Amino acid sequence: MSANALFAPFALKSLQLKNRIVMAPMTRSFSPNGIPGADVAAYYRRRAEGQVGLILSEGTVVERPASSNDPNIPHFYGEQALAGWQHVIDEVHAAGGKMGPQLWHMGVMKEHRSGWKPSEAFEGPSGLFKPGETTGKAMSEDDITDTIAAFGRAAADAKRLGFDCLELHGAHGYLIDQFFWAGLNQRTDGYGGDALTARSRLAVELVQEVRRQVGEEFVISLRLSQWKQQDYDVKLAHTPQEMEAWLRPLADAGVDIFHCSQRRFWEPEFEHEGSDLNFAGWVKKLTGKTTITVGSVGLSGEFLAGFAGESSEPRSIDELLRRLDRNEFDLVAVGRQLIVDPNWVEKIEQGRSDELKGYSREALSTLV
């Protein structure tokens, strides 16, 4: 099978992409004092030169005092950090690329992330956040209002600096996901409760505010995951009906793209439905919105192991293409392969499989 489907252009509102490949957002911690410098701009520019269709930045934190625990994680506020991002997007555009920042707030993970060890986090049913353990300080309504305003300001800045779209990080157990998750959201006000739709209120209000700031034409992506770093087995939606109830209000609030985070793109989301559709497949089917899939594209060996250590056979690009051809999802995000190799996309397009590089963790120590 040819890789053509991956290289078909894609257009949504003001976003025009030359192909279907998205660089997944990946924290790199190379921005001292939260300021992305020339090396970060050059790193993203190399991915644009390497023909990545859409680059999503590493998570970049919005203006809340508690939003990050690592001084090298970039900010998306303040004159110097925004000047750094201006340079990033100018470099990406000069190389013909497209890019959106991933706006992030860690929530209680700020306290826990630095001490987090995978081997500890998955011991119990709720991992790091043990049942009954009170985690973090509940946000006041003023805190919530401030947070929504901070996301709104960051969104307006993303548009002003010339970014092509933006993404909200609603996945992996960070702030937005913490609200979705009954195990952590024990609020009794209008932002909590038994129903997932009630626990989605923060996300809905964030999306509404971001939409208000950027206007109708600017594309908003929302990254979601059923899994959490703190507990791989917790699922937010157990059936397509629950998933639709969760996502419909978010789509109505203004989400254009659901970026559906999975560890492996071939894992069926609802096996009991007798369907092999993955998370992005179900979300596209239920909402009619554009979806991005992700998870172990081009990876092999030890990196396919799940959190519980179970292994999986690598899947070929052909399997991905088969799913893209049947319109299961629209776009494909690639993470670790694009950390080790800025030219991965061109190699796939040109069938230069003998030149593909294997992923290794050492790659994280430099910006290749």
**Which of 335, 341, 343, 344 forms a contact with ligand FNR (CB under 6 A)?**
335
Query: How far, in Å, CA of 153 to CA of 78, rounded?
Result: 11
59 binds ligand FNR, rule: CB under 6 A: yes
24 sits near ligand FNR (criterion: CB under 6 A): yes
Amino acid present at 86: Q
Span interacting with ligand FNR, options 208-216, 236-244, 269-277, 331-339, rule CB under 6 A: 331-339
* From 77-85, 110-118, 196-204, 332-340, span contacting ligand FNR (CB under 6 A): 332-340
Q: Which of 174, 191, 232, 359 is an active site residue?
A: 174
From candidates 148, 299, 345, 348, binder to ligand FNR by CB under 6 A:
299
Q: Shortest distance, CB of residue 215 to ligand FNR, whole angstroms? A: 25
CA distances from 265 to 306, 314, 346 (A): 13, 11, 21
Cβ-Cβ contacts under 8 Å for 161 (sequence gap 6 or more):
82, 85, 86, 89
* Binder of ligand FNR out of 51, 102, 291, 293 (CB under 6 A): 102
Residue 154 contacts ligand FNR per CB under 6 A: no
- C-beta separation of 226 from 235 below 8 A: yes
Residue 26 vs 367, nearer CB to ligand FNR: 26
Stretch that binds ligand FNR, among 182-190, 194-202, 319-327, 330-338 (CB under 6 A): 330-338
* 173 lies in the site for ligand FNR, by CB under 6 A: no
Report how far apart, in Å, the C-alpha atoms of 357 and of each of 136, 170, 275 are: 41, 31, 33
88 Cβ neighbours under 8 A, 6+ residues apart:
36, 40, 41, 44, 57, 99
Residue 221 binding ligand FNR, by CB under 6 A: no
Q: Considering the rule CB under 6 A, would residue 223 count as an interface residue with ligand FNR?
A: yes
Block residue for tokens 């959106």:
100
- Tell me if 334 contacts ligand FNR by CB under 6 A: yes
Q: Which residue's CB is nearer to ligand FNR, number 138 or number 317?
A: 317
Q: What's the CA gap between 101 and 84, in Å, rounded? A: 12
Enumerate the β-bridge partners of residue 260. 224
* Region binding ligand FNR by CB under 6 A among candidate stretches 135-143, 165-173, 243-251, 307-315: 165-173
Determine which residue in the list 61, 109, 214, 294 makes contact with ligand FNR, applying CB under 6 A.
Answer: 294
For the record, the structure tokens of 12 come out as 């949504």
To the query of whether residue 77 is one of the catalytic residues in this protein, the response is no
Backbone torsion region of residue 27, taken as left when φ is above 0, otherwise alpha when ψ lies between -120 and 50, otherwise beta: beta
Give the binding-site size for ligand FNR (rule: CB under 6 A): 21
Residue 297 makes contact with ligand FNR by CB under 6 A = yes
49's CB contacts (< 8 A; 6+ apart) are 95, 96, 97, 342
To which residue do tokens 């994280």 refer? 364
Burial of 332 (0-12, 13-18, 19+ CB in 10 A): buried
The residues carrying an active-site annotation are: 174
Binding site for ligand FNR (CB under 6 A): 24-27, 58-59, 102, 169, 171-172, 223, 261, 294-297, 299, 334-336, 364
